[in-house]
Amino acid sequence: MNIQTITIKDIAKALNLSYSTVSRALKGSYQISEPVKEKVLAYAKEHNYRPNLLAQSLKNKNSRCIGVVLCTIPNSFLGEVINGIESIASSKGYLVIITQSNESLEKEKMALDHLTMRSIDGLLISVSTETINTDHLKTYHDRGLPIVFFDRVCEGLPTHMVQSDNEGGAYELTRHLIQQGYRRIAHITSPTHLPMTRERLTGYHRALKEAGLDADPDLLKNCAHGGAIVEEIETAINELFSLSKVPDAVLAASDRMTQASFQHLRALGKSIPNQVALAGFSNFSAPDLFSPALTTVVQDAFEMGKRAAGLLIERIEQKHKPFTPERIILPVQLKARASTGSV
């Protein structure tokens, strides 16, 4: 089905205005009077005018596309991040192309290659658990591709980063568990080469130290794939409950880890929170509908996506201007519920 569209030239001819006047009016330029703007916008709306993004991209040497590389798409936290990204991108006239690495460095590299072959203007990325250095990203960064890290970041590149308060969130969760009377608090998390993991470990250890509790290394479980493989979580839980001194609480570091821990603890017949408390970082919908309702640290995933996309588009549109890399830390919120003995 062919949809007839009008051009700026058509509007100019119909309203007896110059091409440049119509173009500026459509962009909301201060150089055009309000009555003329209103007349142009009304006509454009009535006749279903749509900007020719292809022509604009050729003129400006931009594709008006941004690439997004995620560690995995079936993730409620990252789903909200995507919504935030698209809310900004669409308002600025950018198309979002989303890919996933499935926690594989090789797939991350392939995704980056495929996106750049499509001439994206910039990249948003949350790195895989296998990403230890940024050599593959540095190559494109050095060629002038604007890059913004979000959630899982890599240090070493002079780029913008947007994260949650990982240290503060882990500290608040651990302190809450201690205040509830738990003393052997296990922590299931991602590989320690990720800054996010180290930040959450710092918060966890700080809360234990403040309470005068020793950090038992047997209670720390690092999952190589960040919980993307359920068996990793099940193995971690099994090992924890094979100890001579089992944990009385489990702190999980992501949506997937929290949910998988809950399911496996139930499968093992563990009563939550009577035998073991459970808390975690999470943005999955309705944690209060679990039985018992789950204590979580809530991250503002939508805001993370918005901020990351905004920084990237600003960088794209001011690409040749000097800039200072910015690291944005978004606040988190503890939601205490029944899984840690809270009413």
Average pLDDT over residues 73-87: 86
Q: In this structure, which topology does domain 166-299+333-340 adopt according to CATH?
A: Rossmann fold (3.40.50)
Reported as a single tens digit per residue, the pLDDT across 20-39 is 898 888 877 778 899 999 99
Residues ≥6 apart with Cβ < 8 Å to 152: 71, 126, 127, 194, 195, 196
Residue 304 Cα distances to 75, 148, 331, angstroms: 15, 11, 10
**For 249-253, what is the mean pLDDT?**
95
| Neighbouring-strand partners of residue 68 | 98, 124
Q: Which two tokens stand for residue 127?
A: 């790195």
What percent of the chain has pLDDT above 70? 92
Pair of tokens at residue 15: 């309203």
- Whether 293 has a pLDDT exceeding 60, the answer reads yes
Residue 153 and residue 161 in contact, taking contact as beta carbons nearer than 8 Å: yes
Torsion angle of C-alpha atoms 70, 76, 82, 87, degrees rounded to 10: -170
Question: How much is the pLDDT for 49?
Answer: 81
Share of the chain above pLDDT 90, in %: 65
Burial of 98 (0-12, 13-18, 19+ CB in 10 A): middle
Going by C-beta distance under 8 Å and a sequence separation of 6 or more, which residues neighbour residue 43? 11, 14, 15, 49
8 A C-beta contact, residue 236 and residue 226: no
pLDDT in tens, 146-155: 999 999 998 8
Tell me: pLDDT of 57 over 60.
Answer: no
pLDDT single digits (tens) 88-106? 999 998 999 999 999 999 9
Confidence band for 321, pLDDT divided at 50, 70 and 90: confident
Report the pLDDT averaged over residues 43-48.
86
- Does pLDDT of 87 surpass 60? yes
pLDDT of residue 283: 67
Q: What does the pLDDT average to over 241-248?
A: 96
The tens digit of pLDDT for each residue in 62-74 reads 678 999 999 876 6
Beta partners for residue 123, in sequence order:
67, 147
Question: If you average pLDDT over residues 280-309, what whole number do you get?
Answer: 86
- Is the pLDDT confidence value at 55 over 80? no
Q: How far is CA 144 from CA 4, 116, 121, in A?
A: 38, 12, 10
Rounded to 10 deg, the angle between the 19-26 and 34-46 helix axes is 90
Going from N- to C-terminal start, the domains of the chain cover 8-51, 63-164+301-331, 166-299+333-340
Residue 304 above 50 pLDDT?
yes
Tell how strand 249-252 and strand 185-189 pair up. Answer: parallel
pLDDT band for position 282 (cuts 50, 70, 90): confident
- pTM: predicted TM-score of the whole model, two decimal places: 0.80
For residue 50, pLDDT beyond 80: no
Surface-to-core class of residue 321, CB atoms within 10 Å of its CB (0-12 exposed, 13-18 middle, 19+ buried):
exposed
Among 54-58, 88-92, 166-170, 308-312, the least confident range: 54-58
Rounded to an integer, the average pLDDT of 170-186 is: 97
Q: What is the mean pLDDT of the chain?
A: 89
- C-alpha closest to that of 273 among 292, 296, 255: 292
**What is the fold, at CATH topology level, of the domain defined by 63-164+301-331?**
Rossmann fold (3.40.50)
Tell me the one-letter amino acid at 47: H
CATH fold match for the domains 63-164+301-331 and 166-299+333-340: yes
